[in-house]
Structure 1
Amino acid sequence: MKEYVDSFLELIYPEKNTCFVCDKYDEEIDQKYICCDCEKKIKKIVPPVCVKCSKPINYDKSTELCQECGGDERYFEISKSLYAYEGVIKNAIYNYKYYNKPYFYKLFGNLITDFINKENYLNYDYIVSVPLHRSKLRKRGYNQSELLARHISNSLSIPYIDALKRIKRTKKQSEKSKEERRKNLKDAFLIKASSDKIINRSVLLVDDIYTTGSTVNECSKALITYGVSKVYVITIAR
């Protein structure tokens, strides 16, 4: 059955050997979904970075925390991001979210899984994702973070739990200041009743972008309040 579904999806989204970023066709791409030229253009996040949120910082300072993490309460243990949110990666994420390209999860999911294995970022029991409000989910048709999380779950053989629910219809975060983002997301998330498995366990929270950290922090707060022992975060970019 799975083979049939995969073949059917291949007819709808004939992306094998095609770079999702530039649409170049090359048999060497196979199921990487990105060509070598585009891969070279992506700016990776490299040390020195904040030990809490992975923001690039200068270690000449007296602390290994960025200003935001030093001044704000963080409910997650660590947040890691692969790339700087600019250039080709920014365009690809935008297309993934807003141009009806749900299959982009294959590209980003593979990149994240490779990163997790390379960094040995595997100290959690379950995987969860940042939810969309039902109105936005209805409009978009899919939750890009959930698609990523489920792909990572399958790749790592770590169970995915559909634990979080967004109960507050929030305005677009990108148009708001840091303080406005925090207020916008206050009490926006709750834990679904069927999520007892994550109590006293650690989880990996998956999202697409880390900007100020307000979204993943509010999700982490809901998870910790519910009884999760530790929350780790992964995003494509920041």
Structure 2
Amino acid sequence: MCKSCFEELHFILDGCVKCGKPIINHSLEKQEISGCSYCFNKSFYFDRAISCIEYNDTSKKMILGLKYNNKTYMSKYIATIMKEKLEVEGLEFDYILFVPLHKRRLKKRGFNQSEKIAKHLGKEISAQVIDSIYRKSYTKMLYKLKKQERFQELKNVFAIKHSKNLLNNKNILLVDDIFTTGATTNEISKLLKETGVNKIYIMTLLTRSSDSYVLE
């Protein structure tokens, strides 16, 4: 990434304590009580979501280049950014998991960008990465769906691969590329909680500003 592009990235210094979206004109006390304008009065199965960079035209190119232009080297760079964010947040967890692709989409793309990021991150922080979740069903491309359609499309899509005892009472860091509505990570978190996972932290590179969402 060139210097000018790097300077156009908006790193998230203060994010919502629930969904991780950048906060504008919100007091810390209000965030702790109710969350931001997006997650206000919403319930999530994960304990906390953290993102590194605000979604904009420049940061969007990073993810699109990785996912659709085969720029897999970007996953290492993204993992380095995530490492620095984790050091600031001071989270403690036992394993790193990643959001899976359906085998049909994986075959078409050739790789899972979330898996590549997670594995680089695991090396950076000396944490074990576990391929623990799979998609039972092929789903539509989520970016084409509205928020409630996303939640419905992902209902009961995921399953655990191995013995549930491995994750029982463990703290998990779940890695993905973008946190938009949280539909994907929340559905996986529901499954993990049912499996006996203790705490679940979501780690993504990008998220949109909380002020881009309307209260419901």
Counterpart for residue 54 of structure 1: 20
Give the distance between the partners of 1:77 and 1:100, measured in 2 at CA: 33
Give the distance between the partners of 1:219 and 1:94, measured in 2 at CA: 23
Counterpart for residue 7 of structure 2: 40
Q: Determine whether 1:103 maps to 2:73.
A: yes
Structure 1 residues 179 and 114 mapped into 2: Cα distance closer, same or farther (>3 Å)? same
Q: Determine whether 1:223 maps to 2:192.
A: yes
Structure 1 residues 180 and 194 mapped into 2: Cα distance closer, same or farther (>3 Å)? same
- For the residue of structure 2 that corresponds to 1:215, the secondary structure is helix
Of residues 193-202 and 174-183 in structure 1, the stretch that sits farther from structure 2 once superposed is 193-202
Give the distance between the partners of 1:107 and 1:71, measured in 2 at CA: 35
Counterpart for residue 154 of structure 2: 185
> 4+ residue stretches of structure 1 with deviation over 3 A?
60-63
Residue 146 of structure 2 aligns to which amino acid in structure 1? S
Give the distance between the partners of 1:177 and 1:62, measured in 2 at CA: 31
Q: Determine whether 1:198 maps to 2:167.
A: yes
Q: Determine whether 1:128 maps to 2:97.
A: yes
Give the distance between the partners of 2:200 and 2:167, measured in 1 at CA: 11
Residue 42 of structure 1 aligns to which amino acid in structure 2? L
- Contact kept? 2:22, 2:54, Cα under 8 Å: no
- For the residue of structure 2 that corresponds to 1:212, the secondary structure is coil
- Contact kept? 1:145, 1:207, Cα under 8 Å: yes
Deviation per residue, 1:159-200 (Å, 9 max, x gap): 111111111211111111111010011111111124532211
Structure 1 residues 160 and 195 mapped into 2: Cα distance closer, same or farther (>3 Å)? farther
Q: 1:26-175 to 2 correspondence within 5 Å?
A: 35-47=2-14, 49-57=15-23, 58-59=25-26, 63-64=30-31, 65-120=35-90, 122-175=91-144
- Contact kept? 1:133, 1:169, Cα under 8 Å: yes
RMSD: 1.7
Shift in Å, 1:61: 9.9
Of residues 212-221 and 50-59 in structure 1, the stretch that sits farther from structure 2 once superposed is 50-59
Q: Between Structure 1 and Structure 2, how many residues are aligned?
A: 203
Shift in Å, 1:155: 1.1
> Unpaired segments of 5 or more residues in structure 1?
1-18, 20-34
Specify which structure has the bigger relative contact order, considering alpha-carbon pairs within 8 angstroms and separated by 6 or more residues: 2
TM-score (norm 1): 0.80
Name which one, 1 or 2, has greater alpha-carbon Rg: 1
The alignment-based identity, stated in percent, is 39
- Contact kept? 1:128, 1:206, Cα under 8 Å: yes
Shift in Å, 1:213: 0.5
